[in-house]
Structure 1
Amino acid sequence: MPMSPYVRSLRNRIGHDLLLLPGVTAVIRNGDRFLLARQRDTGRWSLIGGGVEPGETPQEAVVREVHEEIGVRPVVRRIVGAYGGKPLVSTYPNGDQIAAVTVAFECVLPSNDFTLEAAELIETGWLTREQVNHAERHEWIDNVLDDAAR
């Protein structure tokens, strides 16, 4: 995942120490299927999302992230929930430690015709909840998908 200039400036000061980062997650559905993306760094499936930049609202961030990753601007419908804690703590291969807190938004695409834009992703797929259960994934997304189904 590319590092924003803001995070890079923080890393220059704190090195690899734990950094709490605000994020956003897009829950995009097509009937009973969810749009997931497989990440290049881990090979695992997850929901589309990323970090909130300084001066950006979470809603603006989720629209930007979806656009950067699949080339379309979604319509943000509602907040699904907020997530954090141990499931969202990780260490990148370079040793950088992060603890993410993410707000998940239900989003709708204006068209299901899109292309993969982000180099950090390998592929996208529309998966049913049952397929997600059998996919190699970031397990914290299970809570998000369960909340989105309510």
Structure 2
Amino acid sequence: MPIPPFVEDLRRHVGHALLWLPGVTAVVRRGAGPDTEVLLVRRADDGTWTPVTGIVDPGEEPAVAAAREALEEADVTIRVDRLARVGVTDEVAYPNGDRSVYLDLTFACTWLAGEARVADDESTDVRWCAPGDLDDVDPPLAAHMRARIDAALADEVAARFATG
């Protein structure tokens, strides 16, 4: 995965020390009712399927970051509808020794245009998946990614968040 330039700059000062970074997840839906599909990307770094994810740039609005990431990773234009979930990831240790924890803001989004495709080097495949088929994805979705998708697909107004 490419490292954003601002993170490279931070790493020059802090080395591999633990960084707290804001991240976004864009759960992109297409269709309605029984025809609803969710956009998944297959990550190039570990081969897992996830919704579109990314790091918020300094000064960037998180919803803008979600739309930017969807365009950069899958070449689709989306509407960000609502904040669906707020959570904190476990510590992530990268092969080079860098360590990060992410504040994840998951957004429920609607596909507007574009034929989903691999649009950068962060993924190796993209696909639309019916919600009922999410348990059949191989390799299986990680539980924390499934929780993000479930929150975005829920018919709720308020965001979900951990309280303890």
TM-score normalised by the chain length of structure 1:
0.89
Q: Kindly state the Cα deviation for residue 33 of structure 1 after the two structures are TM-superposed.
A: 2.5
- Aligned residue number for residue 53 of structure 1: 57
- Aligned residue number for residue 98 of structure 1: 100
Does structure 1 residue 108 correspond to structure 2 residue 96?
no
Structure 2 unmatched runs, 5+: 155-164
Structure 1 unmatched runs, 5+: none
Does structure 1 residue 41 correspond to structure 2 residue 9?
no
- Aligned residue number for residue 22 of structure 2: 22
- Look up the SS of the partner of 2:9 in the other structure: helix
Deviates more, 1:123-132 or 1:63-72: 123-132
Aligned residues: 148
TM-score normalised by the chain length of structure 2:
0.82
Tell me which stretches of 4 or more aligned residues in structure 1 moved more than 4 Å: none
1:100–1:55 Cα change, 3 Å? same
Q: Kindly state the Cα deviation for residue 102 of structure 1 after the two structures are TM-superposed.
A: 1.1
- Aligned residue number for residue 81 of structure 2: 77
Q: Kindly state the Cα deviation for residue 141 of structure 1 after the two structures are TM-superposed.
A: 0.9
Percent identical pairs in the alignment equals 33
- Aligned residue number for residue 143 of structure 1: 147
Q: CA RMSD in A?
A: 1.6
Deviates more, 1:20-29 or 1:132-141: 132-141
Cα displacement string for residues 77-135 of structure 1 (whole angstroms, at most 9, x for unaligned residues): 1111112142xx21112121111111111111213523221111010111233433243
1:112–1:67 Cα change, 3 Å? closer
